[in-house]
Amino acid sequence: MDLSTSYMGLTLAHPIVASAGPLTQSVDGVTALARGGAAAIVLHSLFEEQIRQERATALELEVEFDDINAEGLSYFPSVPTRLPNDEDVTTRSYLSLLSKAVEAVDVPVIASLNGATMGGWTTFAKKMEDAGAAGLELNIYYVPGDGVPTGVEVEDRHCAIVEAVKQSITIPVAVKLSPYFSSFGQVARRLGDAGADALVLFNRFYQPDIDLETMEAAPGIEFSTPFDARLPRTWISTLRRTTKESLAGSSGVHSAADVVKYILAGADVVMTTSALVENGPGFAAVLRDGLDAWLSRAGFASLAEARGKLALSDDIDATDYQRQGYVAALQRAKQMYGSFTAN
């Protein structure tokens, strides 16, 4: 069975990609994922806030101890060393991991940047390219919590970041997106016009819970569930016929069946973190083999034949289709659970 696929211009042996997460934070973890069957690996994200905080801390300590007598230098606190080209320890550590990971495995290693402002994107992107990244994933995690920016301004920020990064590097660029746009299809088109080579659907916002004992907000991370795949699959199916960019399905992948559904919807690759953390790096091969077995049973000769088989057809109005699906779902719910009348 030919499981090969193309993602953001990279040729992969199959569509199972290890997305950014705990297992991609070390060379050993990356090596284990490659041995376990991942066709490509996305490193954990370099966060804008990490770099800003480290630089601010170093500057504060430099100012505080600026007038210390030379005889007391042994008491000077250990601070992050400013490295050549204005690099900090966090950045240098990430670039070191990236370059070592690239040398250690024979599958593409994709770097990841997570930020919200324009500053630093192009500089870090270039450094990642120089360190050997096969591609770059931009994780633009921006929630305008103050309610001031308009929807158009938020979209403009995303597009400006992509344009700036694309102008600074030659490796392909993917954008990992939130689904929370008023017109997601339009945003997808704009990002493609801005130069994005791939769209990753979707990023997950980690909303805090409330601890009733301490009466405080309690941040936390939970594994995805198969249900979480429905939203990205719906949009992948909708976009497949109208976009030239690669489409990556992310979230809700826990079995080979989940992978197959993404492929039928039109995904070029299927990304997972939760399943690999729960079951170990070797679970990538389980997903790959399960996909292979299903395609054979269904009579397909290759992955390409199955991809997008259930994507929205060009001759169907996407808006009407989504509306009809909504109405049909309500009717089915009524048949299953009856009509509820408030007393």
**Average pLDDT value for residue range 109-133:** 87
In this prediction, residue 210 carries a pLDDT of 87
Between CA 201 and CA 271 the distance in angstroms is 10
Radius of gyration of the chain (CA): 23
In this prediction, residue 151 carries a pLDDT of 87
Between CA 236 and CA 230 the distance in angstroms is 10
Residue 49 has pLDDT above 50, yes or no: yes
Residue 67 has pLDDT above 80, yes or no: no
> Would you place residue 222 in the very low, low, confident or very high pLDDT band (cuts 50, 70, 90)?
confident
In this prediction, residue 266 carries a pLDDT of 97
What is the per-residue pLDDT across 283-337, written as a single tens digit (0 to 9) for each? 999 999 999 999 999 999 999 999 999 997 655 554 554 545 444 544 554 555 6
Residue 37 has pLDDT above 80, yes or no: yes
Between CA 49 and CA 185 the distance in angstroms is 30
Residue-range domains of the chain with CATH: 5-314 (3.20.20.70)
> Would you place residue 5 in the very low, low, confident or very high pLDDT band (cuts 50, 70, 90)?
very high
Contacts of 316 (CB under 8 A, 6+ apart): none
**185 with 317: CB under 8 angstroms?**
no
**232 with 253: CB under 8 angstroms?**
no
Residue 273 has pLDDT above 90, yes or no: yes
